[in-house]
Amino acid sequence: MMMYKINVDRLPELYAKMAESRALYLPIEKNDQVEFHPWNADACVRLDKLNTAKSAKDLFFPQTENLMKFKMQGKNISIEENRDPVEPFVLFGVRACDVRSFDVLDKVFLADPVDTFYQSRRENGVVISMACHEPEETCFCHAFGIDAADPAGDISCWMVEGTLYWKPLTEKGQALTETVSALMEQAGDQDQAKVEESQKALHAVMEKLPLYDLDLTGFDGDHLLEKFNSEKWAKLSEACLGCGSCTFVCPTCQCYDIRDYDNGHGVQRYRCWDSCMYSDFTMMAHGTPRKTQLEKFRQRFMHKLVYFPSNNDGMYSCVGCGRCLTKCPISMNIVKVIKALGGENHA
């Protein structure tokens, strides 16, 4: 499809035009923290920010959402579906790692039986990705086959020398492009060359990152028992606090709990994010199947690196965004697990 361009000084016009017909979410700075928020003319947009504090997952799989309501009158119980309304929206400025996370979530929520809450958001959302420019030392998306210089999505964008380059990739992306194309110019061969040069420059930077050559050899279904039974889990997990910070910033974690509360006029049922690191996760009448922190810790990383790819054609449930590396209070993260268990029993 054709590539377009617009000067960065005119981006507020582009935002306003998109926001005329649908909600627009951008990386916006509030209280010294950048997250995806609804755009308005006074918002402090930070397209230069590499990773938002929380991932864009929240737009498709919210931290909390209503499922249904029960009303009780005597012995009569009525059920009312009161799911949160979903309107068309645009998610602008998503990095390549977070775009890949949507593919991981699709494997979970769009498999039979389809999660219609997630499905409606995916159908109503248009994803505009942004190529990276200055990756951080904690980035390791390359290990999972992700190209930070050529992100997927409905529309891909690159910021080069004060110009935003815009390329639709899907029918949804093309439809949105047609509504804003009057604000942009068609990009020519010289513009394409500039984008390609910026991609080459980013690749050169990424090759120098400390985690660029992270080796995932042996993390697959063929070596499940070897990884599961490794004696190294005890040492790796001994300092884990079970705080769940890693799961809440992770763009691919999909565990949730379903709860009810009495609001005085009936019972509201909702779901909310949960964490496999918590002591009451999957609690049943007889207790929890994973009683120790070692078992919880092992479950998290085995799922991301072994169980998930084994059941999903080799796709890992990690995208190398690096958020868990920066947020873990005891500096224990998936990279340390990969390095510690890498090379075991797969010669």
pLDDT digit string (tens) for 168-212? Answer: 999 999 999 999 999 999 999 999 999 999 999 999 999 999 999
- Domain containing 10: what range? 4-66+84-206
Supply the pLDDT for residue 263.
81
Q: Is 242 exposed, middle or buried (0-12, 13-18, 19+ CB in 10 A)?
A: middle
Clarify whether residues 139 and 194 are in a common domain.
yes
Clarify whether residues 195 and 241 are in a common domain.
no
Supply the pLDDT for residue 321.
95
Q: Would you say residue 76 has pLDDT above 70?
A: yes
Clarify whether residues 129 and 175 are in a common domain.
yes
From 206, 229, 261, give the residue that closes a domain. Answer: 206
Clarify whether residues 189 and 309 are in a common domain.
no
Overall domain count for the chain: 2
Per cent of the chain over pLDDT 70 is: 95
Q: Would you say residue 347 has pLDDT above 50?
A: no
Supply the pLDDT for residue 286.
59
pTM of the predicted model, to two decimals? 0.92
Residue 78 lies in a domain: no
User: Alpha-carbon distance 309 to 54, whole Å?
Assistant: 24
Q: Would you say residue 332 has pLDDT above 70?
A: yes
Clarify whether residues 97 and 43 are in a common domain.
yes
What are residue 5's DSSP bridge partners?
A: 165, 185
Clarify whether residues 190 and 303 are in a common domain.
no
Q: Would you say residue 346 has pLDDT above 60?
A: no
DSSP H helices in 152-217: 171-180, 189-206
Supply the pLDDT for residue 343.
62
pLDDT digits (tens, 9 = 90+) for 241-285: 888 899 999 999 999 999 998 887 789 999 999 888 777 676 665
Clarify whether residues 173 and 284 are in a common domain.
no
Supply the pLDDT for residue 291.
72
Clarify whether residues 127 and 226 are in a common domain.
no
What are residue 271's DSSP bridge partners?
A: 65, 258
Clarify whether residues 14 and 131 are in a common domain.
yes
pLDDT digits (tens, 9 = 90+) for 37-69: 999 999 999 999 999 999 999 999 999 999 999
Task: Quickly tell me which residue has 């090379």 as its tokens.
Answer: 343
User: Alpha-carbon distance 31 to 50, whole Å?
Assistant: 17
User: Residue 200: CB partners within 8 Å, gap ≥ 6?
Assistant: none
